[in-house]
């Protein structure tokens, strides 16, 4: 991995970056191997994938991340298992989390920073008002923002998407909201994590180039 190189380029400490091994393409045995190899943060984007692996890896030291879009009715199946939810993208989901959770849940607000019609996430212009509204929920903690860059070879588009997320984080932090410290940026996947590091990512979500795609 070129994480330390990307950090060096912009004077960042690699210890400030958490790598999430995205295990959605692989089975539980491969996920176990990843943990044995020292990857203790695992990410899944489907409810079944998370619950299956959560069971199979019972007893191992894993921090669980849910990174996919979550249907409100399935919230109850994941909310007691995940340590961080990266895909809070609507009020109805926040309500459901708040209802089901028995402790504060660390959430990232998913932002459609690229503005693509196909992408999930809150519009960048609506992020601030969304987060302000979330303050009524006792069990929601906004630890940061999450985004996915467009699939493109044009690195300037990728970079400006990530940069926008960093600017939004600054705006949220300025509000000094008790339930939204918003210190983290979840961005960067196999193809673009170096740019994400340069733009301030603190959580990388890496699947195919780290834990493989089982093909």
Task: List residues binding ligand PLP (CB under 6 A).
Answer: 22, 24, 45, 67-68, 148, 189-191, 205-209
Q: What's the closest the beta carbon of residue 126 comes to ligand PLP, in angstroms?
A: 20
d(CA 155, CA 179): 34
Compute the distance between CA of residue 181 and CA of residue 143 in angstroms, rounded to an integer. Answer: 6
Q: Are strands 140-146 and 63-66 parallel, antiparallel or unpaired?
A: unpaired
Shortest gap between Cβ of 121 and ligand PLP (angstroms)?
10
Tell me if residue 88 falls in helix, strand or coil.
strand
Least distance from ligand PLP to the Cβ atom of residue 207, Å: 3
Spatial separation of the C-alpha atoms in residues 113 and 40, rounded to whole Å? 28
Asked if 53 contacts 42 with a C-beta cutoff of 8 angstroms, the reply is: yes
What minimum distance in Å lies between the beta carbon of 190 and ligand PLP?
3
Q: Which two tokens stand for residue 119?
A: 């992408």
């Amino acid at each position: 991995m070129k994480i330390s190189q990307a950090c060096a380029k912009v004077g960042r400490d690699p210890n400030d970056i958490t790598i999430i091994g995205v295990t959605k393409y692989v089975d539980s045995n491969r996920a176990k191997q990843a943990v044995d190899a020292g990857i203790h943060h695992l990410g899944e984007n489907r409810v079944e994938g998370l619950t299956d692996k959560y069971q199979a890896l019972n007893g191992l030291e894993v921090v669980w991340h849910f990174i996919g879009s979550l249907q409100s009715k399935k919230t109850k199946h994941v909310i007691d298992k995940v340590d961080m939810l990266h895909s809070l993208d609507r009020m109805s989901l926040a309500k459901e989390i708040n209802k089901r959770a028995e402790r504060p849940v660390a959430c990232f607000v998913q932002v459609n920073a690229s503005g693509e019609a196909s992408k999930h996430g809150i519009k960048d212009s609506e992020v601030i008002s969304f987060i302000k509204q979330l303050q009524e929920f006792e069990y929601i903690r906004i630890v940061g923002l999450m985004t996915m860059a467009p699939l493109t070879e044009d690195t300037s588009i990728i970079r400006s998407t990530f940069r926008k997320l960093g600017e939004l984080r600054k705006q949220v932090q300025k509000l000094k909201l008790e339930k939204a410290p918003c210190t983290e940026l979840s961005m960067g996947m196999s193809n673009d994590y170096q740019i994400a590091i340069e733009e301030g990512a603190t959580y990388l979500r890496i699947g195919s180039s780290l834990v493989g795609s089982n093909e």
